[in-house]
Amino acid sequence: MADQKERTALVTGATDGVGRVVATRLGAAGFRVLIHGRDPARGAATVREIEQAGGSATFLPADLASLDEVRGLAKAVAATTDRLHLLINNAGIGTAGNKPGRQTSADGHELRFAVNYLSGFLLTHLLLPLLKAGSPARIVNVSSAGQQAIDFSDVMLTKHYSGVAAYCQSKLAQILFTIDLTDALKGSGVIVNALHPSTYMNTTMVRQSGTTPMSRVEDGAEAILNLAVGSAVEGRSGLYFNVLREARANGQAYDAEARTKLRKLSLELTGLKS
């Protein structure tokens, strides 16, 4: 990674797992890293790790299950810097989480849709002025190979719920958003791409699901950093990568009508203006 001094990155879900590895590597490369998480103790530990290695970091707490806290996070970022060069939407919850059954966010939305997708949609839009000010800038949406077409007649899965379906739907929503946002960012100097970082990394999310890890968080971090600072996507946007290789997502991602439906729904749910 080339020296990135004077550049600022925000990594959500950066106090554990692959997000923490990504944050520490960005710090080592010279980025000023804004560390997002929910736990102040883990946040302080991550900041300390980066600073002890000679980097610069700031912890910004927020619970992404609350859209008000997402708005607060965006305000905290704006109070910390006047430009942003890198946004990595990494925070998320898996198929199992801490409780069985369907759960809802603080705003009453299905929890995985809210945390994995809707929070990133809102946060990204709120931070676009800072990203444009930091141009050339990049947005990386950490998605998954686990994808399921969105049922627009029951997006919140009130009729037939499963944690797997909720997770896979939310992850595909991130990719639809990635492709949709590409057109809006043309000419801005900001690119946005999505990826499946690695299969069943040794993370808390995977362990909670009862699955035996198959890959390392370091593998996932390498894949994320490939899109965040690598040359492979220089000037290229709206792509989906399977680890380090450009790939094709679920077909719904390339359906313009589905992307329009999702955008309109997301604007309505977050209260953003089109």
Q: What is the pLDDT of residues 10-22, one digit of tens each?
A: 999 999 999 999 9
Please tell me the pTM assigned to this model: 0.93
Mean pLDDT of 28-48: 97
Taking only the tens place, the pLDDT of each residue in 90-124 is 999 988 766 678 999 999 999 999 999 999 999 99
Indicate whether 215 pLDDT > 70: no
Indicate whether 136 pLDDT > 90: yes
Q: Which pLDDT does position 100 carry in this prediction?
A: 72
**Active-site residue numbers?**
167
Indicate whether 205 pLDDT > 90: no
Q: Which pLDDT does position 96 carry in this prediction?
A: 74
| Beta strands at 32-37 and 56-61: parallel, antiparallel or unpaired | parallel
In the chain, where the domains are located: 8-270
Q: Which pLDDT does position 6 carry in this prediction?
A: 80
Mean pLDDT of 241-247: 97
What is the dotted CATH code of the domain comprising 8-270?
3.40.50.720
Q: Using CA atoms, how far apart are residues 100 and 156, in angstroms rounded to an integer? A: 16
